[in-house]
Structure 1
Protein backbone atom coordinates (compact mmCIF):
# COMPACT_ATOMS: atom_id res chain seq x y z
CA UNK A 1 0.00 0.00 0.00
CA UNK A 2 1.25 3.46 -0.89
CA UNK A 3 1.42 5.44 2.36
CA UNK A 4 3.46 8.46 1.25
CA UNK A 5 3.80 10.42 -2.00
CA UNK A 6 6.73 12.82 -2.17
CA UNK A 7 6.42 15.57 -4.78
CA UNK A 8 8.94 17.91 -6.32
CA UNK A 9 7.80 21.49 -7.01
CA UNK A 10 9.38 23.18 -10.03
CA UNK A 11 8.19 21.77 -13.38
CA UNK A 12 6.27 19.09 -11.48
CA UNK A 13 3.47 20.90 -9.64
CA UNK A 14 4.20 24.37 -10.99
CA UNK A 15 6.13 25.66 -13.97
CA UNK A 16 9.43 27.25 -12.99
CA UNK A 17 8.45 30.34 -14.99
CA UNK A 18 4.93 30.51 -13.53
CA UNK A 19 5.69 33.93 -11.94
CA UNK A 20 6.82 35.19 -15.36
CA UNK A 21 9.99 34.99 -17.42
CA UNK A 22 11.15 38.25 -15.86
CA UNK A 23 11.66 36.49 -12.51
CA UNK A 24 15.21 35.39 -13.34
CA UNK A 25 16.12 38.20 -15.74
CA UNK A 26 18.13 40.11 -13.07
CA UNK A 27 20.02 36.88 -12.37
CA UNK A 28 20.75 36.39 -16.06
CA UNK A 29 21.90 40.01 -16.41
CA UNK A 30 24.35 39.57 -13.54
CA UNK A 31 25.76 36.39 -15.10
CA UNK A 32 26.09 38.07 -18.51
CA UNK A 33 27.99 41.00 -17.01
CA UNK A 34 30.35 38.64 -15.19
CA UNK A 35 30.87 36.46 -18.27
CA UNK A 36 33.65 38.68 -19.69
CA UNK A 37 34.09 36.42 -22.72
CA UNK A 38 34.26 33.18 -20.74
CA UNK A 39 31.47 31.61 -22.79
CA UNK A 40 30.29 32.42 -26.34
CA UNK A 41 26.89 34.05 -26.57
CA UNK A 42 25.15 30.92 -27.93
CA UNK A 43 26.58 28.70 -25.20
CA UNK A 44 25.69 31.22 -22.52
CA UNK A 45 22.15 31.51 -23.88
CA UNK A 46 21.68 27.73 -23.70
CA UNK A 47 23.08 27.71 -20.17
CA UNK A 48 20.70 30.41 -18.99
CA UNK A 49 17.81 28.47 -20.49
CA UNK A 50 18.84 25.46 -18.41
CA UNK A 51 18.39 27.55 -15.26
CA UNK A 52 14.63 27.08 -15.58
CA UNK A 53 15.05 23.31 -15.20
CA UNK A 54 18.16 22.82 -13.05
CA UNK A 55 19.78 24.37 -9.99
CA UNK A 56 22.21 27.21 -10.70
CA UNK A 57 25.22 25.35 -9.30
CA UNK A 58 24.39 22.35 -11.53
CA UNK A 59 24.14 24.60 -14.60
CA UNK A 60 27.38 26.36 -13.70
CA UNK A 61 29.25 23.07 -13.48
CA UNK A 62 27.69 21.68 -16.66
CA UNK A 63 28.50 24.75 -18.75
CA UNK A 64 31.84 25.67 -17.14
CA UNK A 65 30.86 28.99 -15.57
CA UNK A 66 33.69 30.98 -14.10
CA UNK A 67 33.69 31.48 -10.34
CA UNK A 68 32.76 35.12 -10.93
CA UNK A 69 29.72 34.15 -13.05
CA UNK A 70 28.42 31.72 -10.45
CA UNK A 71 28.99 34.15 -7.58
CA UNK A 72 27.22 36.96 -9.45
CA UNK A 73 24.21 34.78 -10.19
CA UNK A 74 24.00 33.46 -6.63
CA UNK A 75 24.19 36.94 -5.14
CA UNK A 76 21.09 38.04 -7.07
CA UNK A 77 19.02 34.86 -6.93
CA UNK A 78 19.50 34.57 -3.17
CA UNK A 79 17.51 37.82 -2.84
CA UNK A 80 14.87 36.96 -5.45
CA UNK A 81 11.30 36.49 -4.27
CA UNK A 82 7.89 35.86 -5.84
CA UNK A 83 5.31 38.39 -4.69
CA UNK A 84 2.40 37.67 -7.05
CA UNK A 85 -0.03 34.71 -6.86
CA UNK A 86 0.95 31.48 -8.61
CA UNK A 87 -1.59 28.95 -9.80
CA UNK A 88 0.52 25.92 -10.67
CA UNK A 89 -0.46 23.44 -13.35
CA UNK A 90 -4.12 22.91 -14.17
CA UNK A 91 -4.33 19.52 -12.44
CA UNK A 92 -2.97 20.78 -9.12
CA UNK A 93 -6.35 20.23 -7.44
CA UNK A 94 -5.79 16.46 -7.84
CA UNK A 95 -3.52 16.69 -4.80
CA UNK A 96 -6.61 17.12 -2.65
CA UNK A 97 -8.03 13.93 -4.16
CA UNK A 98 -4.82 11.94 -3.75
CA UNK A 99 -4.41 12.89 -0.12
CA UNK A 100 -5.99 10.33 2.19
CA UNK A 101 -7.21 10.38 5.74
CA UNK A 102 -4.83 9.41 7.15
CA UNK A 103 -3.08 7.70 4.20
CA UNK A 104 -1.53 8.32 1.80
CA UNK A 105 0.31 11.32 3.19
CA UNK A 106 1.62 13.94 0.76
CA UNK A 107 5.00 15.61 1.15
CA UNK A 108 6.65 18.42 -0.79
CA UNK A 109 10.43 18.47 -1.14
CA UNK A 110 11.98 21.21 -3.28
CA UNK A 111 15.55 22.34 -3.90
CA UNK A 112 16.75 25.89 -4.46
CA UNK A 113 17.48 29.10 -2.61
CA UNK A 114 15.39 29.14 0.55
CA UNK A 115 13.87 32.59 0.17
CA UNK A 116 12.85 31.97 -3.45
CA UNK A 117 11.40 28.51 -2.88
CA UNK A 118 9.56 29.62 0.25
CA UNK A 119 8.04 32.56 -1.63
CA UNK A 120 6.84 30.20 -4.40
CA UNK A 121 5.06 28.02 -1.86
CA UNK A 122 3.43 31.08 -0.31
CA UNK A 123 2.44 32.35 -3.78
CA UNK A 124 0.80 29.00 -4.62
CA UNK A 125 -1.18 29.27 -1.38
CA UNK A 126 -2.62 32.73 -2.09
CA UNK A 127 -5.60 31.45 -4.11
CA UNK A 128 -5.81 27.81 -3.01
CA UNK A 129 -5.06 25.73 0.11
CA UNK A 130 -1.77 24.51 -1.35
CA UNK A 131 0.16 24.16 1.89
CA UNK A 132 -2.74 22.39 3.60
CA UNK A 133 -2.57 19.51 1.15
CA UNK A 134 0.80 18.38 2.52
CA UNK A 135 1.68 16.63 5.74
CA UNK A 136 5.15 18.14 5.50
CA UNK A 137 6.98 20.69 3.32
CA UNK A 138 10.78 20.65 3.12
CA UNK A 139 13.21 22.96 1.32
CA UNK A 140 16.59 21.55 0.34
CA UNK A 141 18.18 25.00 0.54
CA UNK A 142 21.34 25.37 -1.53
CA UNK A 143 22.29 28.48 0.49
CA UNK A 144 22.04 26.70 3.83
CA UNK A 145 25.52 26.13 5.32
CA UNK A 146 24.23 22.91 6.90
CA UNK A 147 22.54 21.69 3.72
CA UNK A 148 21.96 17.95 3.50
CA UNK A 149 20.29 16.59 0.33
CA UNK A 150 16.95 15.44 -1.04
CA UNK A 151 18.01 11.87 -0.33
CA UNK A 152 18.55 12.67 3.33
CA UNK A 153 15.15 14.40 3.51
CA UNK A 154 13.44 11.41 1.90
CA UNK A 155 15.10 9.08 4.39
CA UNK A 156 14.05 11.33 7.28
CA UNK A 157 10.43 11.18 6.08
CA UNK A 158 10.53 7.38 5.95
CA UNK A 159 12.11 7.18 9.39
CA UNK A 160 9.76 9.69 11.02
CA UNK A 161 6.64 7.83 9.88
CA UNK A 162 8.12 4.32 9.93
CA UNK A 163 7.49 3.72 6.23
CA UNK A 164 9.51 1.27 4.20
CA UNK A 165 10.71 2.42 0.73
CA UNK A 166 8.13 0.29 -1.09
CA UNK A 167 5.34 2.16 0.72
CA UNK A 168 6.31 5.51 -0.81
CA UNK A 169 6.42 7.16 -4.23
CA UNK A 170 8.65 9.98 -5.45
CA UNK A 171 7.06 12.15 -8.16
CA UNK A 172 9.20 14.65 -10.06
CA UNK A 173 10.71 15.66 -13.38
CA UNK A 174 14.48 15.59 -12.84
CA UNK A 175 16.29 12.24 -13.17
CA UNK A 176 19.44 13.79 -11.72
CA UNK A 177 17.77 15.08 -8.57
CA UNK A 178 14.66 13.72 -6.80
CA UNK A 179 14.32 10.66 -9.06
CA UNK A 180 17.94 9.64 -8.54
CA UNK A 181 17.55 10.16 -4.78
CA UNK A 182 14.47 7.94 -4.73
CA UNK A 183 16.23 5.27 -6.77
CA UNK A 184 19.17 5.16 -4.39
CA UNK A 185 16.79 4.58 -1.48
CA UNK A 186 14.75 1.95 -3.33
CA UNK A 187 11.64 4.15 -3.48
CA UNK A 188 9.50 3.74 -6.63
CA UNK A 189 9.79 6.88 -8.75
CA UNK A 190 7.52 8.56 -11.29
CA UNK A 191 8.85 11.03 -13.86
CA UNK A 192 6.39 13.68 -14.98
CA UNK A 193 7.23 15.59 -18.15
CA UNK A 194 5.16 18.72 -18.33
CA UNK A 195 4.52 20.48 -21.67
CA UNK A 196 7.58 22.42 -22.74
CA UNK A 197 9.93 20.46 -20.47
CA UNK A 198 12.58 18.68 -22.51
CA UNK A 199 13.05 15.11 -21.21
CA UNK A 200 16.67 14.36 -20.23
CA UNK A 201 15.64 10.68 -20.17
CA UNK A 202 12.27 9.36 -21.29
CA UNK A 203 11.16 7.33 -18.34
CA UNK A 204 8.01 7.34 -16.28
CA UNK A 205 8.36 4.26 -14.08
CA UNK A 206 11.98 3.66 -13.15
CA UNK A 207 11.64 0.71 -10.82
CA UNK A 208 9.26 -1.29 -13.00
CA UNK A 209 9.51 -0.29 -16.67
CA UNK A 210 6.52 -1.12 -18.82
CA UNK A 211 7.27 -3.82 -21.39
CA UNK A 212 3.76 -4.34 -22.72
CA UNK A 213 3.75 -3.04 -26.28
CA UNK A 214 0.19 -1.82 -25.80
CA UNK A 215 1.44 0.56 -23.13
CA UNK A 216 4.79 1.40 -24.69
CA UNK A 217 6.55 4.58 -23.67
CA UNK A 218 7.24 5.27 -27.33
CA UNK A 219 4.63 6.74 -29.72
CA UNK A 220 2.95 4.28 -32.00
CA UNK A 221 4.56 3.98 -35.45
CA UNK A 222 2.95 6.11 -38.08
CA UNK A 223 0.98 4.40 -40.81
CA UNK A 224 2.66 4.19 -44.22
CA UNK A 225 1.79 6.90 -46.67
CA UNK A 226 -0.78 5.11 -48.79
CA UNK A 227 -0.85 7.88 -51.36
CA UNK A 228 2.61 6.81 -52.47
CA UNK A 229 1.17 3.49 -53.55
CA UNK A 230 -2.20 4.78 -54.62
CA UNK A 231 -1.88 8.36 -55.91
CA UNK A 232 -4.87 10.55 -55.08
CA UNK A 233 -5.99 13.98 -56.29
CA UNK A 234 -4.12 16.79 -54.59
CA UNK A 235 -7.28 18.40 -53.29
CA UNK A 236 -8.11 15.32 -51.24
CA UNK A 237 -6.31 14.13 -48.15
CA UNK A 238 -5.56 10.42 -47.76
CA UNK A 239 -7.93 8.70 -45.38
CA UNK A 240 -5.35 8.08 -42.66
CA UNK A 241 -4.43 11.77 -42.36
CA UNK A 242 -8.10 12.72 -42.03
CA UNK A 243 -8.54 10.35 -39.08
CA UNK A 244 -8.12 11.80 -35.60
CA UNK A 245 -4.79 10.57 -34.32
CA UNK A 246 -4.48 9.79 -30.58
CA UNK A 247 -2.66 12.56 -28.73
CA UNK A 248 0.39 11.10 -27.01
CA UNK A 249 1.08 13.44 -24.12
CA UNK A 250 4.26 12.69 -22.13
CA UNK A 251 2.21 12.37 -18.96
CA UNK A 252 -0.03 9.77 -20.57
CA UNK A 253 2.57 7.62 -22.28
CA UNK A 254 2.02 4.84 -19.76
CA UNK A 255 -1.54 4.53 -21.04
CA UNK A 256 -0.79 5.53 -24.64
CA UNK A 257 -4.24 7.00 -25.19
CA UNK A 258 -6.06 10.31 -25.27
CA UNK A 259 -8.66 9.57 -22.60
CA UNK A 260 -9.36 12.91 -20.87
CA UNK A 261 -8.33 12.03 -17.31
CA UNK A 262 -6.25 13.96 -14.82
CA UNK A 263 -2.58 13.79 -15.80
CA UNK A 264 -1.12 13.80 -12.32
CA UNK A 265 -3.54 11.13 -11.13
CA UNK A 266 -2.72 8.89 -14.10
CA UNK A 267 1.01 9.02 -13.42
CA UNK A 268 0.71 8.24 -9.73
CA UNK A 269 -1.90 5.50 -10.05
CA UNK A 270 -0.05 3.85 -12.92
CA UNK A 271 3.16 3.86 -10.90
CA UNK A 272 1.40 2.09 -8.06
CA UNK A 273 0.01 -0.59 -10.38
CA UNK A 274 3.35 -1.09 -12.13
CA UNK A 275 5.03 -1.65 -8.78
CA UNK A 276 2.44 -4.20 -7.71
CA UNK A 277 0.98 -2.25 -4.83
CA UNK A 278 -2.48 -1.12 -3.93
CA UNK A 279 -2.92 2.62 -4.01
CA UNK A 280 -5.76 2.71 -1.48
Structure 2
Protein backbone atom coordinates (compact mmCIF):
# COMPACT_ATOMS: atom_id res chain seq x y z
CA UNK A 1 0.00 0.00 0.00
CA UNK A 2 1.45 3.35 -1.04
CA UNK A 3 1.76 5.73 1.90
CA UNK A 4 4.38 8.21 0.68
CA UNK A 5 5.21 10.02 -2.55
CA UNK A 6 8.68 11.53 -2.98
CA UNK A 7 9.45 13.99 -5.74
CA UNK A 8 12.36 15.35 -7.70
CA UNK A 9 12.26 19.15 -8.17
CA UNK A 10 13.84 20.37 -11.43
CA UNK A 11 12.00 19.07 -14.48
CA UNK A 12 9.37 17.41 -12.30
CA UNK A 13 7.67 20.10 -10.22
CA UNK A 14 9.63 23.11 -11.48
CA UNK A 15 9.58 23.71 -15.23
CA UNK A 16 13.25 24.54 -15.27
CA UNK A 17 13.53 25.04 -19.03
CA UNK A 18 10.91 27.80 -18.99
CA UNK A 19 12.32 29.27 -15.78
CA UNK A 20 15.79 29.55 -17.29
CA UNK A 21 14.42 31.24 -20.42
CA UNK A 22 12.53 33.77 -18.31
CA UNK A 23 15.52 34.46 -16.08
CA UNK A 24 18.18 34.87 -18.76
CA UNK A 25 16.00 37.18 -20.86
CA UNK A 26 15.34 39.25 -17.76
CA UNK A 27 19.00 39.34 -16.80
CA UNK A 28 19.92 40.65 -20.22
CA UNK A 29 17.32 43.41 -19.96
CA UNK A 30 18.32 44.44 -16.43
CA UNK A 31 22.05 44.44 -17.18
CA UNK A 32 21.72 45.78 -20.70
CA UNK A 33 24.18 48.63 -20.21
CA UNK A 34 26.94 46.02 -19.82
CA UNK A 35 25.60 43.46 -22.29
CA UNK A 36 24.20 45.63 -25.10
CA UNK A 37 27.08 44.78 -27.45
CA UNK A 38 25.73 41.20 -27.56
CA UNK A 39 22.46 40.42 -29.38
CA UNK A 40 19.92 39.30 -26.79
CA UNK A 41 19.03 36.11 -28.66
CA UNK A 42 22.69 35.15 -28.87
CA UNK A 43 23.34 35.79 -25.17
CA UNK A 44 20.28 33.82 -24.10
CA UNK A 45 20.88 30.92 -26.47
CA UNK A 46 24.53 30.55 -25.43
CA UNK A 47 23.65 30.60 -21.73
CA UNK A 48 21.06 27.87 -22.23
CA UNK A 49 23.52 25.81 -24.26
CA UNK A 50 26.31 26.10 -21.67
CA UNK A 51 23.92 25.49 -18.78
CA UNK A 52 23.13 22.05 -20.21
CA UNK A 53 19.76 21.91 -18.44
CA UNK A 54 21.33 22.63 -15.08
CA UNK A 55 24.09 20.02 -15.18
CA UNK A 56 26.82 22.68 -15.44
CA UNK A 57 27.05 25.03 -12.49
CA UNK A 58 26.84 28.69 -13.36
CA UNK A 59 30.38 29.66 -12.34
CA UNK A 60 31.61 27.76 -15.40
CA UNK A 61 28.80 29.14 -17.55
CA UNK A 62 29.48 32.77 -16.72
CA UNK A 63 33.24 32.38 -17.04
CA UNK A 64 32.70 31.13 -20.59
CA UNK A 65 30.18 33.84 -21.40
CA UNK A 66 32.43 36.67 -20.25
CA UNK A 67 35.34 35.25 -22.26
CA UNK A 68 33.42 34.50 -25.45
CA UNK A 69 31.44 37.75 -25.52
CA UNK A 70 34.27 39.90 -24.16
CA UNK A 71 32.16 41.18 -21.27
CA UNK A 72 34.43 43.53 -19.33
CA UNK A 73 32.24 45.95 -17.38
CA UNK A 74 30.75 43.28 -15.14
CA UNK A 75 32.59 40.23 -13.78
CA UNK A 76 31.52 36.62 -14.06
CA UNK A 77 31.30 36.56 -10.27
CA UNK A 78 28.79 39.42 -10.34
CA UNK A 79 26.75 37.69 -13.03
CA UNK A 80 26.77 34.50 -10.96
CA UNK A 81 25.60 36.35 -7.87
CA UNK A 82 22.82 37.91 -9.90
CA UNK A 83 21.75 34.42 -10.95
CA UNK A 84 21.75 33.21 -7.35
CA UNK A 85 19.75 36.23 -6.17
CA UNK A 86 17.28 36.52 -9.03
CA UNK A 87 16.55 33.06 -10.46
CA UNK A 88 13.99 32.28 -7.78
CA UNK A 89 11.79 35.15 -9.00
CA UNK A 90 11.42 33.48 -12.40
CA UNK A 91 10.41 29.99 -11.28
CA UNK A 92 7.68 28.47 -13.46
CA UNK A 93 5.71 25.54 -12.01
CA UNK A 94 4.38 22.77 -14.17
CA UNK A 95 0.60 22.91 -14.64
CA UNK A 96 -1.54 21.54 -11.81
CA UNK A 97 1.31 21.52 -9.30
CA UNK A 98 -0.59 22.96 -6.33
CA UNK A 99 -3.85 21.12 -7.04
CA UNK A 100 -1.93 17.82 -7.28
CA UNK A 101 -0.18 18.41 -3.94
CA UNK A 102 -3.46 19.42 -2.34
CA UNK A 103 -5.15 16.25 -3.61
CA UNK A 104 -2.38 14.02 -2.29
CA UNK A 105 -2.27 15.74 1.08
CA UNK A 106 -6.05 15.68 1.48
CA UNK A 107 -5.91 11.93 0.90
CA UNK A 108 -3.33 11.53 3.68
CA UNK A 109 -0.28 10.72 1.59
CA UNK A 110 3.06 11.66 3.14
CA UNK A 111 5.12 13.84 0.80
CA UNK A 112 8.88 14.26 0.48
CA UNK A 113 11.39 15.70 -1.95
CA UNK A 114 14.94 14.84 -3.01
CA UNK A 115 16.76 17.29 -5.25
CA UNK A 116 20.32 17.61 -6.44
CA UNK A 117 21.77 21.10 -6.19
CA UNK A 118 22.93 23.79 -3.81
CA UNK A 119 20.98 23.94 -0.59
CA UNK A 120 19.86 27.54 -0.18
CA UNK A 121 19.42 28.05 -3.91
CA UNK A 122 17.05 25.09 -4.19
CA UNK A 123 15.16 26.05 -1.03
CA UNK A 124 14.66 29.59 -2.36
CA UNK A 125 13.12 28.12 -5.51
CA UNK A 126 10.88 25.77 -3.51
CA UNK A 127 9.67 28.65 -1.34
CA UNK A 128 8.94 30.88 -4.33
CA UNK A 129 6.86 28.07 -5.85
CA UNK A 130 4.84 28.14 -2.63
CA UNK A 131 5.16 24.40 -1.97
CA UNK A 132 7.53 24.04 1.00
CA UNK A 133 4.75 23.39 3.52
CA UNK A 134 3.44 20.35 1.63
CA UNK A 135 6.55 18.27 2.34
CA UNK A 136 7.45 16.39 5.50
CA UNK A 137 11.07 16.24 4.41
CA UNK A 138 13.17 17.97 1.74
CA UNK A 139 16.66 16.64 1.06
CA UNK A 140 19.04 18.80 -1.01
CA UNK A 141 22.23 17.09 -2.12
CA UNK A 142 24.65 19.80 -0.96
CA UNK A 143 23.28 19.71 2.57
CA UNK A 144 23.07 15.92 2.66
CA UNK A 145 26.61 15.32 1.42
CA UNK A 146 25.35 12.92 -1.25
CA UNK A 147 23.28 13.15 -4.39
CA UNK A 148 21.03 11.10 -6.62
CA UNK A 149 21.49 8.39 -7.83
CA UNK A 150 23.23 7.40 -4.56
CA UNK A 151 20.81 4.95 -2.90
CA UNK A 152 21.65 6.36 0.52
CA UNK A 153 19.87 9.66 -0.14
CA UNK A 154 16.70 7.74 -1.05
CA UNK A 155 17.02 5.57 2.06
CA UNK A 156 17.52 8.67 4.20
CA UNK A 157 14.29 10.17 2.88
CA UNK A 158 12.41 6.91 3.49
CA UNK A 159 13.73 6.73 7.05
CA UNK A 160 12.70 10.30 7.75
CA UNK A 161 9.20 9.61 6.42
CA UNK A 162 9.09 6.29 8.34
CA UNK A 163 8.03 4.23 5.33
CA UNK A 164 9.48 1.22 3.55
CA UNK A 165 10.49 1.31 -0.14
CA UNK A 166 7.44 -0.69 -1.26
CA UNK A 167 5.19 1.80 0.56
CA UNK A 168 6.54 4.67 -1.49
CA UNK A 169 6.70 6.11 -4.98
CA UNK A 170 9.32 8.37 -6.50
CA UNK A 171 8.39 10.85 -9.21
CA UNK A 172 11.15 12.29 -11.39
CA UNK A 173 12.17 13.12 -14.93
CA UNK A 174 15.71 11.68 -15.16
CA UNK A 175 15.97 8.04 -16.31
CA UNK A 176 19.06 7.25 -14.20
CA UNK A 177 19.10 9.72 -11.30
CA UNK A 178 15.38 9.38 -10.59
CA UNK A 179 13.69 6.38 -12.18
CA UNK A 180 16.42 3.74 -12.10
CA UNK A 181 17.82 4.93 -8.77
CA UNK A 182 14.40 4.72 -7.10
CA UNK A 183 13.76 1.27 -8.52
CA UNK A 184 17.17 0.13 -7.27
CA UNK A 185 16.14 0.80 -3.68
CA UNK A 186 12.78 -0.94 -4.15
CA UNK A 187 10.55 2.07 -4.68
CA UNK A 188 7.84 2.25 -7.34
CA UNK A 189 8.96 4.69 -10.02
CA UNK A 190 6.98 7.27 -11.95
CA UNK A 191 8.58 9.01 -14.90
CA UNK A 192 7.49 12.61 -15.49
CA UNK A 193 7.85 12.70 -19.27
CA UNK A 194 10.67 14.81 -20.63
CA UNK A 195 11.33 15.43 -24.32
CA UNK A 196 15.02 14.55 -23.93
CA UNK A 197 14.42 10.82 -23.39
CA UNK A 198 12.29 8.00 -24.80
CA UNK A 199 11.36 4.53 -23.59
CA UNK A 200 12.27 5.07 -19.95
CA UNK A 201 11.91 1.89 -17.90
CA UNK A 202 9.53 3.21 -15.24
CA UNK A 203 6.62 1.50 -13.49
CA UNK A 204 4.32 4.36 -14.52
CA UNK A 205 4.52 7.39 -16.79
CA UNK A 206 2.79 10.78 -16.48
CA UNK A 207 2.57 13.65 -18.93
CA UNK A 208 0.81 15.95 -16.49
CA UNK A 209 0.97 16.15 -12.71
CA UNK A 210 -2.83 15.99 -12.62
CA UNK A 211 -2.56 12.31 -13.59
CA UNK A 212 -0.62 11.38 -10.49
CA UNK A 213 -3.42 10.66 -8.04
CA UNK A 214 -5.16 8.24 -10.39
CA UNK A 215 -1.86 6.41 -10.93
CA UNK A 216 -1.32 6.02 -7.19
CA UNK A 217 -4.89 4.77 -6.87
CA UNK A 218 -4.19 2.23 -9.62
CA UNK A 219 -0.97 1.12 -7.90
CA UNK A 220 -2.76 0.65 -4.60
CA UNK A 221 -5.28 -1.59 -6.35
CA UNK A 222 -2.75 -3.52 -8.40
CA UNK A 223 -1.76 -6.41 -6.18
CA UNK A 224 0.93 -7.55 -8.65
CA UNK A 225 3.16 -4.68 -7.55
CA UNK A 226 3.12 -5.82 -3.96
CA UNK A 227 3.59 -9.57 -4.34
Q: Which interval holds the TM-score relative to the shorter structure?
A: 0.5 to 0.7
Matched residue of 2:49: which SS? helix
Structural mapping, 1:249-260, within 5 Å = 251=207
Task: Extract unaligned runs of 5+ from structure 2.
Answer: 28-44, 65-75
Shift of 1:11: 1.4
- Change in CA separation of 1:85 and 1:165 when aligned onto 2, cut-off 3 Å: same
Match of 1:64 in 2: none
Of the candidates 97, 102, 111, which is equivalent to residue 96 of structure 1? 102
Report the structure, 1 or 2, having the larger helix content: 2
Structure number with greater Rg is: 1
Matched residue of 1:56: which SS? coil
Shift of 1:187: 0.8
Match of 1:118 in 2: 123
Kept in 1: contact 2:110–2:136 (CA 8 A): yes
Shift of 1:86: 3.8
Matched residue of 2:17: which SS? coil
Match of 2:210 in 1: 262
Kept in 2: contact 1:83–1:123 (CA 8 A): yes
Matched residue of 1:153: which SS? helix
Kept in 2: contact 1:10–1:16 (CA 8 A): yes
Matched, 1:201 2:198: yes
- Change in CA separation of 1:100 and 1:155 when aligned onto 2, cut-off 3 Å: farther
Kept in 1: contact 2:136–2:161 (CA 8 A): no
Kept in 2: contact 1:80–1:115 (CA 8 A): no
Count of equivalent residues: 193
The CA distance in 1 between the partners of 2:223 and 2:175, in whole Å, is 18
The TM-score, its normalising length taken from structure 1, stands at: 0.55
- Change in CA separation of 1:275 and 1:86 when aligned onto 2, cut-off 3 Å: farther
Root-mean-square deviation (Å)? 3.8
Structural mapping, 1:175-186, within 5 Å = 175-186=175-186
